[in-house]
A and B are shown apart, each in its own frame.
Chain A
Amino acid sequence: MSEERGVKDVAKDRLESVGIILNPEKRSGMFLQVDQSTAFASPLYEGVEVMSIRDALKKYEWVSDLMWSLVERKQDEYTREADSEDVNGYFIRAMPGAKIEMPVEACLYLKTLGHKQKVHNIIIAEEGSELNIISGCTSHPGVVSGMHIGISEFFVKKDAKVSFTMVHGWERDMEIRPRSTAKIDENGVFISNYVLLTPVKLVQMYPKAYLGKNAKAVFSSILLAHEGSVVDVGSYCALQGEKSSAEIISRSISTGGKVFARGQIVAEENDVKGHLECRGLMLSDEGEIHAVPELETKCSQVELSHEAAIGKIAEEQVFYLMCRGMTRDEATSTIVRGFMDVEIKGIPDSLRFAISKAVELAARDIL
């Protein structure tokens, strides 16, 4: 294990910008990892377990069976790299029937310039439980380059519900490669939100969800690609159980960077539903937005749809808001903020607040 790290090593304002508030009264559990070390891991509520993956492997024999059971160990060079001795990460589990509305917060913090942070997370919502997680990933001021490889495997058991809100705040020269998969059992619900509004060199991820009977998955992403950033984010949902449904929503903005907003819904069973919505807003002539929605079915009784639209800010809207007394800049940032305001259902207000705060800050800085 590398040297011990603690709260003293992190910049609180950086944590706040990604929704991490370090307030035990408003969280049902807290986890902080600095580079490869666990700074703290504390469950604060009955029915929730929060520990480092290293401790979880010691505590429960079966955890090693779960690791790499959903994400392919040899999927690519990044998963291979994460499959290492010094990997850390979090283990969060809601016990059967435990309904914990108050979120667990988990922060992965990059402290050392040039460090390659390797993380492997296991999230389990046991039967009939409810778990809300905010995962904030960010780096120390001045740590402009580095890499973050995060493997996450979600097990949403029968009748359970997980909402997972991930906010990223990186720097210009960082490369981010999360690899995650969720398995959602009968009647399970998985709501995944991803917010990236800061500059980054590259984010490339394609989280997957496999849905059982009557299960539901909703992926929402709010992406802002600054000049020099490449943001390649998509979601994949396989509807494997009858009456399962999936929704993939993305809002991308380019102020000069490149965005690939992908999404794929595959119907593998009859009587399933899927909808994909990709919207992009170009605020610069320099950037690029590619919307790549894909629908696929192997069955006849399915309902799959998608809508994709890319454009610039409508001058008519700017003029309209100016006629209500806004300056051109105020009108533009109001429209941008509105564009990013994805109505995310099924998450606690505190998480909604964390998202809208990040959006508010970004909309203000955009001009």
Chain B
Amino acid sequence: MLQVVNLKVRVEGKKVLNGVSFYLEQGNTYVLFGANGSGKSSLLNTIIGNPKYEVVGGRIIFNDVDITEMSPEERVKLGMGIAFQNPPEVDGVKLKELLEHCRGISGLDREEVEKYIEMLNMEELVERHVNKGFSGGEVKRAEVLQLLVLNPELVMLDEPDSGVDMENLSIMGRALRTLLERDKKKDERTKTSLIITHTGHILQYVDADYGMILHNGRIACIGNPEKILEDITEHGYEGCVDKCLKNVE
């Protein structure tokens, strides 16, 4: 459903992705690992169309449509969604107004939106201005709530678990399982997701199908997510990538 072909990206003149290629199959959850500065956030930002990230080579194909040149809004309308690691505050705009806009895109009914608000414990927060004065955990919950209402086919999550305490993590975990249809049978799942996690905490709640490592601006290996996380913990990113490459050889 998502195909990234030899993607090369620059930001403010600096090379951040250097020929990334991979393919995501519908219904699967992928975890993207990588050291700090390896380009994980750059990859997600490029896929959603952040204008700061200049594509200098390669293509992004989503459901057989070349979206490389499209605006973020067009990509969202095609069924992509992203939860940011550090989203900005939007003064004067209530979270519920933004949710109403998301609902306009997805066509979800109001009761369903209310259900999600309750699920994430956001009854009071939706009356506040977007991300204004939110705690770390509240920001993450607000991001996931927006995605639940937007209901995209491809879900991208940039560090949904960073700065989240245990209580918030379990609320988030439940919401993410709903968002990614992890409680459905494997062959009934239609949602595809790409998750960046530094700590791996979220994997206690969301069982991923595949893990990938982004290294030196390219995808270095793909495999069992728990195994990759174990190797990273044991050997570090470099060691894990070396091991992966040896396996390939």
Chain A residues within CB distance 8 Å of chain B:
314-317, 319-328, 334-335, 337-341
Name A324's contact: one of B49, B51, B129, B150 (CB within 8 Å): B150
Q: Would B105 and A320 count as touching, CB distance under 8 A?
A: no
Closest B-chain residue to A334, C-beta based?
Answer: B93
Cα of A47 to Cα of B85 in the assembled complex, Å = 57
* Residues on A with beta carbons closer than 8 Å to the beta carbon of B84: 320, 323
* Residues on A with beta carbons closer than 8 Å to the beta carbon of B87: 320
Q: Would B129 and A327 count as touching, CB distance under 8 A?
A: no
Cα of A315 to Cα of B51 in the assembled complex, Å = 9
Q: How far is the CB of A343 from chain B (nearest CB, A)?
A: 9
Q: Would B90 and A335 count as touching, CB distance under 8 A?
A: yes
Q: Would A322 and B71 count as touching, CB distance under 8 A?
A: yes
8 A Cβ contacts from B15-69 to A: 48-52
Q: How far is the CB of A314 from chain B (nearest CB, A)?
A: 7
Name B72's contact: one of A319, A338, A339, A340 (CB within 8 Å): A319
* Residues on A with beta carbons closer than 8 Å to the beta carbon of B171: none
Question: When A320-B84, A322-B76, A324-B150 are in contact, do A338 and B92 touch as well, CB less than 8 Å?
Answer: yes
Q: Would B105 and A325 count as touching, CB distance under 8 A?
A: yes
Q: Would A316 and B91 count as touching, CB distance under 8 A?
A: no
Which one of A316, A320, A324, A328 has the highest number of Cβ atoms from chain B below 10 Å of its Cβ? Answer: A324
8 A Cβ contacts from B179-233 to A: none
Q: Would A324 and B90 count as touching, CB distance under 8 A?
A: no
Q: Would A323 and B82 count as touching, CB distance under 8 A?
A: yes
Which one of B48, B82, B92 has the highest number of Cβ atoms from chain A below 10 Å of its Cβ? Answer: B92
Q: Would B92 and A337 count as touching, CB distance under 8 A?
A: yes
Q: Would B92 and A322 count as touching, CB distance under 8 A?
A: no
Which one of A323, A337, A340 has the highest number of Cβ atoms from chain B below 10 Å of its Cβ? Answer: A323
Cα of A334 to Cα of B101 in the assembled complex, Å = 11
Q: Would B91 and A325 count as touching, CB distance under 8 A?
A: no
Name A340's contact: one of B50, B92, B98, B129 (CB within 8 Å): B92
Q: Would B93 and A338 count as touching, CB distance under 8 A?
A: yes
Q: Would A321 and B71 count as touching, CB distance under 8 A?
A: no
User: Can you list 8 A-B contacts (CB < 8 A)?
Assistant: A322-B71, A325-B76, A325-B101, A327-B73, A335-B93, A338-B92, A339-B92, A340-B92
Cα of A175 to Cα of B87 in the assembled complex, Å = 44
Q: Would B101 and A324 count as touching, CB distance under 8 A?
A: yes
Name B76's contact: one of A316, A317, A324, A337 (CB within 8 Å): A324
8 A Cβ contacts from B79-98 to A: 81-82, 84, 87-88, 90-93, 98
B2, CB-defined interface residue at 8 Å: no
Q: Would B73 and A322 count as touching, CB distance under 8 A?
A: yes
Q: Would A338 and B129 count as touching, CB distance under 8 A?
A: yes
Q: How far is the CB of B124 from chain A (nearest CB, A)?
A: 16
Question: When A319-B50, A319-B72, A338-B129 are in contact, do A324 and B92 touch as well, CB less than 8 Å?
Answer: no
Cα of A322 to Cα of B48 in the assembled complex, Å = 10
* Residues on A with beta carbons closer than 8 Å to the beta carbon of B51: 315, 319
Which one of B76, B82, B87, B88 has the highest number of Cβ atoms from chain A below 10 Å of its Cβ? Answer: B88
Q: How far is the CB of B140 from chain A (nearest CB, A)?
A: 15
Cα of A12 to Cα of B48 in the assembled complex, Å = 47
Q: Would B76 and A323 count as touching, CB distance under 8 A?
A: yes
* Residues on A with beta carbons closer than 8 Å to the beta carbon of B101: 324-326
8 A Cβ contacts from B140-176 to A: 146, 150
Name B92's contact: one of A319, A326, A328, A341 (CB within 8 Å): A341
Q: Would A317 and B90 count as touching, CB distance under 8 A?
A: yes
Name B71's contact: one of A317, A328, A341 (CB within 8 Å): A328
* Residues on A with beta carbons closer than 8 Å to the beta carbon of B126: none
B102, CB-defined interface residue at 8 Å: yes
B77, CB-defined interface residue at 8 Å: yes
Q: Would B73 and A326 count as touching, CB distance under 8 A?
A: yes
Question: When A328-B71, A328-B73, A338-B129 are in contact, do A323 and B48 touch as well, CB less than 8 Å?
Answer: yes
Pairs A-B, 10 closest by C-beta atoms: A338-B92, A341-B92, A325-B105, A322-B72, A338-B93, A325-B76, A322-B73, A316-B88, A323-B72, A317-B88
Cα of A314 to Cα of B89 in the assembled complex, Å = 10
* Residues on A with beta carbons closer than 8 Å to the beta carbon of B71: 322, 327-328
